[in-house]
């Protein structure tokens, strides 16, 4: 029976036997759910603090709350869609298995991001701040780095589920198809929910906000295009 002691960062990233057993069960034991969610929240909070520190300590605290909420939301939304898609592809993966798998994938992503947090803490305190003339240059640099970090960590985390899917389905080819679909759903859900929640979005000079004020006027890809390519904001 998995316990909080066995659901540690290394065990989750390696998908140790206790973690695999919980994921393969029709219903994972409560201790496994608690361990995975606790690790996800703790790791994402550390990364979230580094995510927002460049703007202010208040933004760091806000982002430390927003990042775990964002990852939990993406895992839940993705699990709902991915259960139906996995079953449409001929597997018998249950909603509970899909949700636990999504939580595992995003916990791995959160652990990877937490491991990068010292680098982002260093950048936050060394790059020109939000009240300096070079604020927009720092903002563009940090936003690009964080977007890449979250995208790559999320892809790496969800890709680890390929091993579990192969065991769940017993069909390597079907497992690969399901994994590709799951990756696409997570990328779409993650990017759009991140755009709405925006733990690190406010440009220099804008107040910290609970949700993105531009959420319904453009999407994340339009914003990045205007900011980084067209340089619409100086």
pLDDT tens column, 174-197: 889 999 999 999 988 888 888 777
CB-based contacts of 79, cutoff 8 Å, min separation 6: 95, 98, 99, 101, 102
Asked if 124 and 143 touch (Cβ cutoff 8 Å), the reply is no
CB-based contacts of 165, cutoff 8 Å, min separation 6: 91, 93, 101, 175, 178, 179
Rounded-to-integer distance, Cα 72 and Cα 78, Å? 10
Residues 18, 24, 30, 36, Cα dihedral to 10°: 60
Q: How far is CA 77 from CA 20, 31, 97, 134, in A?
A: 22, 22, 14, 38
pTM given for the model:
0.88
* pLDDT level of residue 27 (50, 70, 90 thresholds): confident
Burial label for 129, CB within 10 Å (0-12, 13-18, 19+), is middle
Go through the chain and tell me how many residues it has: 234
pLDDT tens column, 80-127: 999 998 888 888 889 999 999 999 999 999 999 999 999 999 999 999
């Amino acid at each position: 029976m998995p316990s909080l002691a066995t659901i540690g960062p290394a065990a989750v990233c390696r998908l140790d036997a206790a973690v695999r057993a919980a994921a393969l069960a029709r219903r994972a034991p409560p201790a496994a759910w608690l361990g995975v969610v606790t690790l996800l929240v703790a790791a994402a909070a550390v990364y979230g603090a580094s995510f927002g520190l460049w703007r202010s300590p208040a933004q760091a605290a806000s982002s430390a709350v927003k990042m775990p909420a964002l990852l939990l939301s993406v895992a839940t939304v993705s699990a709902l869609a991915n259960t139906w898609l996995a079953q449409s592809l001929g597997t018998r993966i249950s909603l509970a298995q899909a949700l636990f798998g999504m939580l595992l994938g995003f916990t791995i992503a959160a652990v990877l991001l937490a491991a990068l947090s010292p680098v982002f803490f260093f950048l936050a305190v060394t790059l020109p701040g939000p009240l300096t003339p070079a604020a927009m240059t720092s903002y563009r640099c940090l936003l690009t780095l964080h977007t890449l970090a979250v995208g790559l960590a999320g892809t790496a985390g969800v890709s680890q589920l390929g091993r579990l899917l192969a065991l769940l389905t017993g069909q390597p080819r079907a497992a690969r198809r399901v994994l590709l679909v799951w990756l696409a759903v997570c990328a779409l859900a993650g990017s759009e929910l991140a755009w709405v929640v925006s733990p690190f979005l406010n440009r220099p000079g804008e107040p910290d906000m609970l949700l993105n004020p531009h959420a319904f006027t453009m999407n994340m890809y339009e914003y990045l295009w205007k900011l980084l390519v067209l340089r619409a904001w100086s």
